[in-house]
């Protein structure tokens, strides 16, 4: 089952296609070049669009004096609430420091302390300072800048911007051998075309736009997870949507991307206060404001309900030199009429990160031959039920390198694509009601009843089909598919764990110490299985 498109009008070919130009896609592309493979990097908007450039807090890696990968591992496992894949965590924390050193060698500049050492801060769930940051709170912009400069310098990487990957092309046996693309303003390659390759790496980032309020940019419509599902690949842990606890609450805000107030602000001493001006995290967790993200988001949600208020407060007035340490956040607060040096900041949770995604092994291979996934799109299992702060940029760096090495070590022939069996498309007008329904019934807190009601709304929306392929329709159809997968996973998981909070099953259960894996077969039938996690 594929999305409805126009007839392909052109063809292009490379050894490997990388879809997406965030930390995961750029790292994979650069590492592939070490083996001299030709790379076609396609990205659906401008090359620097995506979550990477918005990343604030930093990158976690055991680089500080006295820190070790083992301590990083412990914190990652605690945050992951019993559902981390230990082998994936081991890879992340042990290969992480070298990956960060390589990024520095590629030109990324991180903030230094007064003594000239790399400055390390703290975020939720970390028992020690281990977060490298750049430009104060503009870490992602610096990572993106450094990687893009390296990509621009490499003639073996062809970049096509405004190139939306719609679906993968598959051989008669189901192996992936390219993608269908829609390109705007690229001369002879305008409109729908086919890009052929021996391997395809999906690095399309997150799916925050499934919800009405998110920290994610507009491109984060989860296209990669949706196209992997349509290709028959397994996805895992999709019910674990991480809601960032401290997103700037704005009275007049409409939906879409909202400004983030980094956890690092709490790392530098900011406190959470309820409507009565009282701290509420102290008695809830030994790390108080720096408890893992799911725990803080949940307590904020409870405080908001109890006081019938749309937000709580983040008091950052004691943070030294706020405007220098957090220039981006300072500017966005001022833009919204708040001076964080003298006023508490109104904050509320919003969708932030997909801890699950396309199920991959330690080399980024999906369950479909020739198809790899990297970064937020992928589920390596390293995040379990809740990602530890600042482990995401790190995951893109570490697994991007592993995927490139695996592709180089396993040369594959160029296969012939087969025509896809059936096509469908939904009306772009479903996007807004879908986002509202998901926030209402499948958000921070869910229950069997709220999920059932949301599913009913989605099923109604699915009757609004379209015969006019366009970017908005492809994205809306992808959001629909993801919303269904999230609801199916959330309804199945009858417990509360990590960022999955069921009001009707408020405790974690040993019976659910397992991963929920979903896939869609070639007849469009959904399947679910479990994977035990030790
Ligand atoms: P992205 O950076 O999102 O890149 C995805 C790319 O795919 C984009 O280029 C996009 O245009 C492209 N794309 C999408 N769909 C298609 C398609 N159909 N066809 C072609 N191209 C497509 N993590 C941390 O570790 N530390 C932090 O401090 C941190 N702060 C964050 C702050 C914010 C506001 C946000 C939103 C996230 C933050 N995260 C942080 C999470 C982290 O930034 C992301 O998880 C990470 O950058 C994802 O990288 P990626 O390469 O997988 O995806
Ligand atoms: C933040 O800066 O709070 C975001 C960090 C992350 O998502 O890892």
DSSP structure class, residue 122: -
Nearest C-alpha neighbor of 387 from the set 422, 418, 409, 357: 357
- Atom number in ligand 1 closest to CA 378: 52
In a domain, 324, yes or no: yes
pLDDT for 450-471, tens place per residue?
999 999 999 999 999 999 999 9
User: 10 Å Cβ neighbour count for 70?
Assistant: 11
Rounded to whole angstroms, the Cα distance separating 325 from 17 reads 39
Within-domain flag for 527? no
Dist. CA 275–CA 223, nearest whole Å: 39
Strand partners for 324: none
Asked whether the predicted pLDDT for residue 421 surpasses 80, the reply is no
Which pLDDT band, with edges at 50, 70 and 90, does 298 fall under? very high
Kindly state whether residue 514 falls inside one of the protein's structural domains: no
Ligand 1 neighbour 474 (Cβ under 6 A): no
Among 315, 334, 351, the domain-final residue is 351
- 421's tokens: 């069996």
- pLDDT value at residue 315: 98
Give burial (CB, 10 Å; 0-12/13-18/19+) of 280: buried
pLDDT higher than threshold 90 for residue 18 = yes
List b or e across 168-205, with b for residues whose CB sees 16 or more CB atoms inside 10 angstroms: bbbbeeebbbbbbbbbeebeebeebbbbbbbbbbbbbb
CA distance 201 to 222: 14
For position 319, which CATH number holds? 3.90.700.10
Look over the chain and give the mean of its residue pLDDT values, rounded to a whole number: 96
Asked if residue 376 has pLDDT above 80, the reply is yes
Q: Which of 305, 320, 351 is the last residue of a domain?
A: 351
The predicted model gives 193-215 an average pLDDT of 98
505 secondary structure, DSSP code: B
Encode pLDDT of 215-252 as tens digits: 999 999 999 999 999 999 999 999 999 999 999 999 87
Which listed residue (122, 250, 293, 502) is catalytic?
A: 293
- Helix (H) / strand (E) containing 23: helix 23-33
Give the residue numbers spanning the domain of 151. Answer: 7-240+355-409
- Note whether residue 416 is domain-resident: no
Residue 389 C-alpha to ligand 2 middle, in angstroms? 5
C-alpha 376 to ligand 1 mean position (Å): 7
**Domain co-membership, 31 together with 170:** yes
Tokens of 466: 């379209």
Report the run of H or E that residue 236 belongs to, with start and end.
strand 235-236
Sign of dihedral through CA atoms 275, 278, 284, 285? Answer: positive
Determine the distance separating the centroid of ligand 2 and the alpha carbon of 419, expressed in angstroms.
42
Same domain assignment for residues 131 and 157: yes
Instruction: Mark whether 279 and 291 lie in a shared domain.
Output: yes
Instruction: Give the model confidence (pLDDT) of 46-78 as tens digits.
Output: 999 999 999 999 999 999 999 999 999 999 999
Q: What is the mean pLDDT of residues 392-402?
A: 98
The pLDDT of residue 185 is: 81
Q: Which atom of ligand 2 is nearest to the CA of 353?
A: 7
Residue 80: give its domain's CATH number. 3.50.50.60
- Spatial contact of 408 and 376, defined as CB atoms under 8 Å apart: no
Residue of the CA atom closest to atom 1 of ligand 2? 262
Asked whether residue 287 is assigned to any structural domain, the reply reads: yes
The residue among 513, 456, 506, 485 whose CA lies nearest residue 82 is: 513
| pLDDT confidence of residue 422 | 77
Per-residue pLDDT reduced to its tens digit, 259-288:
999 999 999 999 999 999 999 999 999 999
Query: What is the number of alpha carbons within 13 Å of residue 445 lying toward its C-beta?
Result: 14
Is residue 193 included in any domain, yes or no? Answer: yes
CATH number, domain of 473, equals 1.20.58.100
Q: DSSP readout, 166-224?
A: EEEEE-TTS-EEEEEEEESS-GGG-EEEEEE-SEEEE-----GGGSSEESS-TT-S-HH
Enumerate residues 6+ apart whose C-beta is below 8 A from 278: none
CA distance 421 to 2: 8
Q: Calculate the alpha carbon distances from 269 to 220, 289, 343 in Å.
A: 31, 9, 15
Indicate whether residue 49 lines ligand 1 (CB < 6 A). Answer: yes
Q: Rounded to an integer, what distance in angstroms lies between the CA atom of residue 30 and that of residue 356?
A: 25
For 126, half-sphere exposure in the C-beta direction (CA atoms, 13 angstrom radius) is 29
Distance (Å) from CA 327 to ligand 1 centroid: 21
Does a structural domain hold residue 80?
Answer: yes
Name the nearest CA neighbour of 226 among 517, 476, 493. 476
The answer on 178 and 101 residing in a single domain is yes
Claim to verify: residue 20 and residue 135 sit in the same structural domain: yes
How far does the centroid of ligand 2 lie from the alpha carbon of residue 57, in Å?
5
Per the structure, how many domains does the chain have? 3
163 and 16 both lie in a single domain: yes
d(CA 240, CA 226): 16
pLDDT value of residue 252: 78
* pLDDT of 341 above 90: yes
For 43, the 3-state DSSP assignment is: coil
Domain identity same for 16 and 160: yes
Residue 515: active-site member: no
Cβ 140 under 6 angstroms from ligand 1: yes
Letter string b/e over residues 414-434, b meaning 16 or more CB atoms within 10 A of that residue's CB:
ebebeebeeeebbbbebbeeb
pLDDT value of residue 211: 98
Rounded to an integer, the average pLDDT of 489-494 is 98
Q: Are residues 146 and 251 both part of a single domain?
A: no
In this structure, which ligand is nearest to the CA of 332?
1
Both 360 and 347 in one domain: the answer is no
Spatial neighbors of 332 by CB under 8 A, at least 6 apart, are 248, 259
Strands laid side by side in the 526-532 sheet: 378-379, 357-359, 235-236, 514-520, 526-532
85 Cβ inside 6 Å of ligand 1: no
Answer yes or no: do 195 and 255 share one domain: no
130-173 per-position pLDDT tens digit: 999 999 999 999 999 999 999 999 999 999 999 999 999 999 99
Helices and strands (DSSP H and E) totals, the chain = 13, 27
Q: Is residue 132 part of a domain?
A: yes
User: 208, 390, 395: which to mutate for ligand 2, most atoms within 8 A of CB?
Assistant: 390
The atom of ligand 1 lying closest to the CA of 395 is 25
Q: Are residues 30 and 110 in the same domain?
A: yes
Index of the ligand 2 atom closest to the CA of residue 352 = 7
Point out the domain boundary residue: 301, 316, 351: 351
Indicate if 72 and 148 belong to the same structural domain: yes
Indicate if the pLDDT at residue 253 is higher than 80: no
Q: How far apart are CA 209 and CA 70, in angstroms?
A: 35
């Amino acid at each position: 089952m594929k999305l409805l498109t126009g007839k392909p009008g052109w063809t292009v070919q490379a050894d490997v296609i990388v879809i997406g130009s965030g930390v995961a896609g750029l790292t994979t592309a650069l590492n592939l070049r070490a083996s001299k493979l030709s790379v076609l990097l396609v990205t659906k908007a401008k090359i620097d669009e995506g979550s990477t450039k918005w990343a604030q807090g930093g990158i976690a890696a055991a680089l500080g004096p006295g820190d070790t990968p083992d301590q990083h591992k412990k914190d990652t496992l605690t945050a992951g609430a019993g559902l981390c894949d230990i082998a994936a965590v081991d890879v992340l924390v042990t290969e992480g420091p070298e990956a960060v050193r390589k990024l520095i060698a590629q030109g990324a500049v991180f903030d230094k302390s007064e003594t000239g050492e790399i400055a390390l801060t703290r975020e939720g769930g970390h028992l020690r300072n281990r977060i490298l940051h750049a430009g104060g709170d503009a870490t992602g912009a610096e990572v993106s800048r450094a990687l893009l400069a390296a990509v621009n310098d490499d003639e073996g990487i062809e970049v096509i911007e405004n190139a939306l990957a719609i679906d993968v092309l598959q051989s008669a046996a189901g192996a992936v051998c390219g993608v269908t693309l829609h390109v705007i303003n690229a001369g002879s390659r305008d409109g729908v075309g086919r890009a052929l390759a021996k391997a395809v790496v999906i690095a399309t980032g997150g799916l925050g736009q499934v919800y009405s309020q998110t920290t994610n940019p507009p491109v984060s419509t989860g296209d990669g997870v949706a196209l992997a599902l349509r290709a028959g690949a397994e996805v895992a842990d999709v019910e674990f949507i991480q809601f960032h606890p401290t997103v700037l609450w704005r009275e007049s805000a409409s939906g879409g991307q909202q400004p983030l107030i980094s956890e690092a602000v709490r790392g530098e001493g900011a406190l959470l206060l309820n409507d009565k001006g009282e701290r509420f995290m102290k008695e809830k967790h030994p790390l108080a404001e720096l408890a893992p993200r799911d725990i803080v988001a949940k307590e904020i949600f409870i405080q908001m309900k109890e006081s019938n208020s749309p937000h709580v407060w983040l008091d950052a007035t004691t943070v030294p030199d706020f405007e220098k340490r957090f220039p981006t956040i300072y500017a966005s607060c001022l833009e919204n009429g708040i001076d964080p040096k003298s006023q508490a900041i109104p904050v509320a949770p919003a969708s932030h990160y997909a801890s699950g995604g396309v199920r991959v092994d330690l080399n980024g291979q999906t369950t479909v031959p020739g198809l790899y996934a990297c970064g937020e799109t992928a589920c390596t299992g390293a995040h379990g039920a809740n990602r530890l702060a600042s482990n995401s940029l790190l995951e893109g760096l570490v697994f991007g390198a592993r995927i490139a090495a695996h592709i180089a070590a396993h040369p594959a022939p160029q296969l012939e694509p087969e025509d896809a069996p059936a096509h469908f498309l939904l009306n772009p007008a479903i996007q807004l009601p879908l986002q509202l329904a998901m926030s209402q019934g499948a958000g921070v807190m869910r229950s069997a009843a709220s999920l059932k009601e949301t599913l009913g709304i989605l099923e109604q929306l699915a009757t609004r089909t379209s015969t006019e392929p366009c970017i908005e329709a492809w994205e809306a159809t992808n959001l629909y598919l993801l919303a269904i997968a999230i609801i199916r996973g959330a309804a199945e998981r009858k417990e509360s764990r990590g960022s999955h909070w069921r009001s009707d099953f408020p405790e974690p259960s040993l019976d659910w110490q397992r991963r929920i894996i979903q896939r869609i077969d070639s007849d469009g039938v959904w399947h679910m299985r479990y994977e035990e996690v030790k």
